[in-house]
Each structure stands twice: as C-alpha cells, then as structure tokens.
Amino acid sequence: MNQPVRLAQLSRTEVADLADEAVLVLPIGATEQHGPHLPLGTDFLIVSELVEQALTAASTTRPVVLAPTIPYGHSEHHVSAGGAGSMRPQTLHLLLTDLISSFVRTGFRRIMIINGHGGNDTAIRTVVAQAGCDHPGVFAALSYWHEAGTTPEGEIITEHKPGHAGQFEASLLMALRPDVLPADRDIATGEPPAPMISGEDIGGGATVVRSGDWVTSGGWTDDPAGASPELGAPYRDHLVQRLASAITGFCEISAPRPPGTAH
C-alpha cells in the first residue's frame, strides 16, 4: 500500500527532487446544491476520497503527488435550482490551463486531472488536449463515473450513472464519508417532481440541454431512498480499483522533456 505524497506538505526542495519523475494528480469537483438532502460538497468530497484510496491501492513505479482538490467547477445550471459556487466554462478553462502551465514550469511532466462533477467534463478534456500542444509532457483527464455503472464482470449495479443527488451518490458518499452522511439520516425525498430532459439520449451522441430543467425537476434526478453504506461499498471498491488502474497505467507512459534538457 502506498501513502499519497501531498503537494501542500512538500517543501520547494522536495518538489524539485520529485517533480521530474513524478505524476501529479489534480482532483476537481464542485460545490453545488444536491437536492434538499445531500451536502453541497458531495462532488468534491466523493472525488477527493476516491482518489486518496486509489493512490493507496495503486502499484506505481514512480512517485505520485496529490495536489489539493479544487472544490469548485462549472455549476451555473445549479445556481437557480438551490445554489452553487460556480465558474463560467471559460473561467474554469483558464484556471486549469494556468495551473497546468505553472506545474509544468515547476518541473512536473506528467499531470492527470481526475474529475467528480459532470459540468467540468468537457473543460478538463479540452484543457489537457491543449496542454499537449503547449508543453512538453504527458497529460490526462478523466471523470470517475465512466466506470461507475458496472462491476468488473459487467453486472449492472446502478441504473443512474451517476445521476445527481440520487441513490448512487448518496450511497457512495455514505460508504466514503460516513462522518458527512451518516447511514441513519433520513434522505428520502421521492422521485423528482418533473422529468429531466437535459441529458436525454436521442441518438448520435447528441448533447441535449433544456433550460429550466434543474428548477422544474427539484434539483435531483432520482429518489435516494434506499441508499446505504452497504449499497455504496461495491461502487466504492470498484471505482477505487478502476482509478488505481488508470493511475498505474498513466505512470508507465513516457513523457517528453523540454528541448535542450538532459535525459
């Protein structure tokens, strides 16, 4: 088992010694409404804990440095549905671009963004695509839930992947952070008062967005009733292993060096 090396706890001398060979992992989430029953920090709390456990489980051949989680993202669609601390997409893009640029200039050549909020997914991918054009190095971005719907054997374990403020997120948070969401808390709210059309699968990989959906739906996608740590445990274990595998694989990728530097 590995213990995460925390960027915030390193001295500049320690960073200088590690950066060239290390992988820097940058988690990002959001602070936004999660219905009347889950905490606003659900997204960043979940992704932070998943990444911590994944780094402990990963078998890496090089140091992995954990940057502090960014607790805000693009959540404008939740502001009118109950509240959020949000950035516009262009602000988020600039924030991540500037962070990657400064980390590269600090000496890191391998940077991986791990995301916990749907509103950030497009930005993290365009940012790393541009980073590969702007800087020598290797860059990756992923959102944790893309493997959330099935077990390693392919068995479907949740209908909502991950949904918003429903049974999946509630169960996962209970399993990861029982201090934040205890199992005995009453979170049953029933099904949303109106269906969510945004995100509807109409074919062709289309992105569908209908204004006002988050307000009319009440701010959640499915009833969290029945959520439990026991239901969340297999989600947690599966996601930790999938993230650990992704981190391990990323560590194996060679990273270009700046022109003129020694190998």
- 234-249 pLDDT tens trace: 989 999 999 999 999 9
- Beta strand 23-28 with 64-66 is parallel
Contact by Cβ (8 Å): 31, 44: yes
The closest of 107, 100, 64, 101 to 261, measured between CA atoms, is: 107
- Beta strand 31-32 with 138-143 is unpaired
Contact by Cβ (8 Å): 143, 163: no
Residues 6+ apart with CB under 8 A from 158: 148, 149, 167, 168, 235
Cross-strand bridge partners of residue 110? 138
- Beta strand 84-85 with 31-32 is antiparallel
Average pLDDT over residues 144-165: 64
135 pLDDT more than 80: yes
Neighbours of 46 (CB within 10 A): 28
The secondary structure of residue 241, as a DSSP letter, is: H
Contact by Cβ (8 Å): 142, 115: yes
Q: Specify the pLDDT at position 3.
A: 79
Mean pLDDT of the chain: 89
154 pLDDT more than 70: no
The pLDDT tens digits of the residues spanning 156-205 come to 555 556 788 889 999 999 999 999 999 998 887 788 888 777 777 778 88
Identify the three-state secondary structure at position 35. coil
Contact by Cβ (8 Å): 70, 213: no
The pLDDT tens digits of the residues spanning 41-65 come to 999 999 999 999 999 999 898 999 9
Identify the three-state secondary structure at position 178. coil
The secondary structure of residue 165, as a DSSP letter, is: S
pTM, entire model: 0.92
d(CA 85, CA 147): 27
Q: Specify the pLDDT at position 161.
A: 60
153 pLDDT more than 70: no
Could you tell me the sign of the dihedral formed by the alpha carbons of 66, 72, 75, 78, in that order?
positive
Q: Specify the pLDDT at position 263.
A: 54
Cross-strand bridge partners of residue 114? 27, 142
d(CA 19, CA 111): 10
The closest of 202, 200, 205, 235 to 221, measured between CA atoms, is: 200
